[in-house]
Structure 1
Amino acid sequence: MVEYFKSDQLFDADELDSKKIKALDDDTRLEIMKLLSREPGYPSEVAENLSVSKQKAYYHFQKLEEAGLLQELRSENVSGGQATYYSPTADGYILDLGNTGRPFHLPERKGPVIDFLHPLVEEGELNGSIVVGSPDQHGPDQVRARDGHLAGEAALKLGKYTDTDEELVRLDTEIVRDDHFDQNFLLIGGVLTNTLTKKFNEAFPAKFSGQEFPYREISTPESTYTEDNIGLVAKARHPDKLGKTLFLVAGVRNAGTLAAVRAFKNLETLIQGYEGGEFYKVVRGLDLDGDGEIDDFEVVE
């Protein structure tokens, strides 16, 4: 799944393969996809709207579903029978030819997410650093971080609200070397792999509480969590610099950090009810498609 912009809006898109292209090489199927993108429907309803036979509509639905273009949503009783509603599997579909695109910048965004991210995001600019642990052995525990790719996902989220050409992600070792601690930070990864998380851990309303290596424990005012897939998204005031703010996206282990990043990418939902000040949410990573990888999350506190 990739993301694309159209008319100042962000969409999730699936990449076209030969099977999908073949399935879409039919005017009726294209009309079915467009119709269902506006509102989920069932074959006999679509047949009536497109003035085709029910048998033909069922045939086209089957071909589109087999190609991975349609998915079942729900079943309902309609006119005394059972109707299965379908919708497209993505907002859109693209064919990536591997060319280099044109650089562009999004306009400044306003709203609850901007308020939450302030002052890290201010007037459409990133006013601070995203910090991830170094992939080299470092820190008092001499560990290697494996969260670098997740920092890129977090940066993509912030990219929706900023207009900057500056480098967004820095290593914790760079911050330590430059002695540049007096800024806003988005910290990716726990106290074991990110030395800045360890430095500022006590500032957060929910924090890592394990006292011994490998520190696999997150404590809140309400509970303590040790499961590998538990993650934390938190916000706190910078303890050493007035007016600066810290954000933490981390987990008990890698699966938990991945869950926290998934939650951070859904800030619009995660921060509902936020009224300012400190913040935390504990999330649990979910493997919904059964492939052994965290692809979703649920809020547990």
Structure 2
Amino acid sequence: MDWVLVEKDGDYIAIPTRVVKANEVLGKVFTGDKIRILTALAEESTYPRRLAEKLGMKEQIVYYHLATLRDAGLVYVSKKEEVKGAVAKYYSTNFKSVSLVFSENGISVKPSQILRLGESVMEFLTPFIEKGEFNSKIIVGSPDIHGPYRAQSRDTHYAVELAAFLGSISGKVGSGIVKLDTEVREDDLKGNMIVVGGPVTNMVANRINDILPLRFDMKEQNRILSLITGRIYYEDECGIVVKTTNPFNPQSRILLLAGKRFQGTKAAILAVTKHIDDVAKNNSFDPSVPARVVMGYDLDGDGVIDDVEFLE
């Protein structure tokens, strides 16, 4: 049996349902043209003239159906752009399907947090989470003295917070997902990695530092340098969240959560676990780059960073 989840007053109700094809029940509720338009907009946003050309329909008919669908709350104008000297309205839809619910009597359930996440968040978390399963290693700095800076990591325990968050949005998390940087082998480097901690305490972060749009300047007190804006961040509470292609395997990805010191790493972790929607918006000055700078704050005055502000 299939189920549809309906959100009601912050709770979810699971209602038995039947999945139908567009040419069955829904095809009788909507006209064929409206379904074709919704199907096209579910693939990509576009403007009426291009939509008419794509579907082989008259432009006036497309405008009529779009107006009806807009009034029904099924499509919306996502942006306006000049096309051949005229302003074109791009239409989009947030929905991939439409459900007809005849009764809201069902079972109260607590679904995975993944159902609360938007498409931009899921895209940001891919391929670390794929098909509801965790698909990565979490690499933390060793608490022992190691590396060229003879440093000891003080942010290893933050991996627990991160793993708990990732577990809440993953249907399946395997064993052995966390490794110390001193335990990482060449095969590990070729997979997806979530790297916790900066280049002083985490040797994997050290190896990728020079390819990042946000990086640490090791010669200048480990300050954070943004190649996106040219800004420099000196505060210990500053952290970065960067998603990048894995230089050891272009088919994989790396997510770096790091700070100038352990306070900054804590801020980066909080950004992901508490404000993932904002993280997924990418850089404030260049939205094409999945890289954020955050500043951690102790709002309740207990000496522990508990929230962040996005600086980039």
Q: Report the TM-score, using the length of structure 2 for normalisation.
A: 0.58
Q: 2:222 aligns with which of 216, 231, 234?
A: 216
Taking the aligned partners of 2:201 and 2:12, their CA distance within structure 1 comes to 37
Taking the aligned partners of 1:8 and 1:142, their CA distance within structure 2 comes to 51
Question: Does structure 1 residue 157 correspond to structure 2 residue 165?
Answer: yes
AA paired with 1:272? K
Q: 2:290 aligns with which of 271, 279, 289?
A: 279
Contact 2:281 2:287 (C-alpha < 8 Å) held by counterparts: no
Distance 1:270 1:248, change over 3 A: same
User: In the alignment, what sits opposite 2:54?
Assistant: none
User: In the alignment, what sits opposite 2:140?
Assistant: 132
Taking the aligned partners of 1:224 and 1:182, their CA distance within structure 2 comes to 31
Taking the aligned partners of 2:149 and 2:214, their CA distance within structure 1 comes to 22
Structure 1 residue 249: Cα displacement: 0.5
Distance 1:200 1:123, change over 3 A: same
- Structure 1, unaligned stretches of length 5 or more? 1-5, 10-103
Question: Does structure 1 residue 267 correspond to structure 2 residue 276?
Answer: yes
Taking the aligned partners of 2:206 and 2:217, their CA distance within structure 1 comes to 11
SS in 2 for 1:180: helix
Distance 1:195 1:240, change over 3 A: same
Question: Does structure 1 residue 250 correspond to structure 2 residue 258?
Answer: yes
Structure 1 residue 108: Cα displacement: 5.9
AA paired with 2:191? Q
Taking the aligned partners of 1:130 and 1:217, their CA distance within structure 2 comes to 24
Distance 1:138 1:238, change over 3 A: same
SS in 2 for 1:152: helix
Taking the aligned partners of 1:189 and 1:273, their CA distance within structure 2 comes to 20
User: In the alignment, what sits opposite 2:214?
Assistant: 206
SS in 1 for 2:308: strand
Question: Does structure 1 residue 115 correspond to structure 2 residue 123?
Answer: yes
Question: Does structure 1 residue 171 correspond to structure 2 residue 180?
Answer: yes
Distance 1:227 1:276, change over 3 A: closer
Structure 1 residue 277: Cα displacement: 6.2
Taking the aligned partners of 2:121 and 2:11, their CA distance within structure 1 comes to 20
SS in 1 for 2:188: coil
Paired residue total: 199
Question: Does structure 1 residue 230 correspond to structure 2 residue 232?
Answer: no
Structure 1 residue 7: Cα displacement: 6.2
Structure 1 residue 161: Cα displacement: 2.3
Structure 1 residue 187: Cα displacement: 0.6
| Deviation digits for residues 37-72 of structure 1 (CA, Å, limit 9, x no counterpart) | xxxxxxxxxxxxxxxxxxxxxxxxxxxxxxxxxxxx
When structure 1 is superposed on structure 2, of 191-200 and 143-152 the one drifting more is: 143-152
User: In the alignment, what sits opposite 1:22?
Assistant: none
SS in 2 for 1:272: coil
Moved over 6 A (4+): 6-9, 273-277
Instruction: Report % sequence identity.
Output: 36
SS in 2 for 1:148: coil
Q: Report the TM-score, using the length of structure 1 for normalisation.
A: 0.60
